[in-house]
Amino acid sequence: MTTTEISTFTQKKLIDQIKQTFTTFPDARRGDGVYQKYEMSDAALSAFSVFFMQSPSFLDYQKMMAKERGKSNAHSLFGIHLIPSASQVRNLLDPVSAETIAPLYRKIFKGLQASGKINEFHVLDNTLLVAIDGVEYFGSQTIHCDCCSTQDLKNGKTHYSHVAVTPVIVSPKQSSVIPLAPEFVTPQDGSEKQDYELAASKRWLEKEADALPDNTTFLGDDLYCKQPFCEQLIQMKKHFILVCKPDSHKTLYEWVDDFDRLGEVETIIVNKWTGKKKLRKQYRFVNQVPLRNTDDALLVNWCELTITDEESHVIYRNSFATDYPLDRKNIKQIVEAGRTRWKVENENNNTLKTKGYNFKHNFGHGKKHLSSLLASLNILAFLVHTVLEWFDQCYALVRNSLASRKTFFDDLRALTRYMVFDSWQKLMEFMLGGLDIPVPEI
């Protein structure tokens, strides 16, 4: 997919690019076993098709259709030559690291840059906001593998889990988010210590941050407001606006209190009428306070927003540390950007869990990389759906004409269960016809 082609994303172009990437998957098979007739791309496309269609039974229906009619939507829509069984898919994909599909995320991001779409997310003098967070997508007290994280429980049992770090591009001006390649919390070669979210996030920065513009600003909860993470961002010429809580930053808040007593913490009051009630927003900020109690402490800039109602009840309070110099002109924008961090949870992680992607379902655990690879394919499906709503006119018309996301995918599942379509375009045109919507000229 060239730069000019990327600027006009369609289902066919995206699926073709996905298939091309899947053909590069390493093949760990040896000899002439029963699985040799399947291409690695067939296994990967089969798994991706389940997530894209939000249908665990999609492949079963397509195998039946291929047997009865000699053709299926698995072939015409996803380019799958032979459909492996679910267990064959798991066995073939288990040795494949999730990092093998990271280039797809990068190519889609570059396409969004080339198209100009990414500019719609710019804030704070053309910076991109990247919210970063960890999410557990598998947990069990029985099923586990060598890549699991472990936690000893009070009942004497062990909790096994898989955690993904899921960076997304967010903006207070946009309801959608743009997922970037995930990173996974997993045992690292040569380390006796258990891996953890912040370490995984730092690895992600080393792999992915250079592909982002220099003025990218990272958002995160209090876990990320640590000097090594902040210094890494500064060294990479990136910015940060991170939640900064009093309990975990005692030295910083002692300095803030000292400056407050000296009258050097600036305050701005904004009264806002929502149409139903009156709110009072109080912004407080001060520059150059130490992030920790050491001689080499990084000096950061601190701000706080407190929102109260007419009865003086606090309905919101949060504070942030940032490398942006704060003043009375930019404080509102900085705080608004910092508050956008919640979109990584609400618009990304919760969408993956509750909007048909079934992110926490155990689609296959495996012994090596299967769990993380399937999770990454699931997030990729979400990214592709988002991009198609922006660029594929037919897809967007159908999606926006139906009552909900659920209705759209219910209809997709029903149609592809009983009918074979020669292409994505034919499927979309059929759905537009059923909705009495003219097919747009392409």
Judge whether 160 and 194 are in contact, CB under 8 Å.
Answer: no
**Rounded distance, CA 397 to CA 435, Å?**
10
pLDDT over 70, % of the chain: 96
Each domain of the chain, given as residue ranges in start order, spans 1-115+363-442, 236-328
CA nearest neighbour of 51 among 356, 394, 406, 311: 356
pLDDT band at residue 1, thresholds of 50, 70 and 90?
A: very low
- 354-392 pLDDT per residue, tens: 888 989 888 989 999 999 999 999 999 999 999 999 999
pLDDT of residue 66: 93
Is residue 5 predicted with pLDDT exceeding 90? no
73 to each of 46, 51, 61, 236, 410, how far by Cα in Å?
11, 15, 9, 45, 16
pLDDT at 2: 47
Q: What is the pLDDT of residues 405-436, one digit of tens each?
A: 999 999 999 999 999 999 999 999 999 999 99
What does the mean pLDDT of the chain come to?
Answer: 92
pLDDT band (50, 70, 90) for residue 7 = very low
| Residue predicted with more confidence, 72 or 277 | 72
Q: Whole-prediction pTM value?
A: 0.93
- Average pLDDT of the residues in 156-169: 94
pLDDT tens-digit map of 205-247: 999 999 999 889 999 999 999 999 999 999 999 999 999 999 9
22-51 pLDDT per residue, tens:
999 999 887 665 567 889 999 999 999 999
The predicted pLDDT at position 276 comes to: 84
In three-state secondary structure terms, 132 is coil
Residues in Cβ contact with 408 at an 8 Å cutoff, skipping those fewer than 6 apart: 398, 399, 402
Instruction: Return the pLDDT at 130.
Output: 98
Nearest to 165 by CA among 188, 140, 146, 182: 182
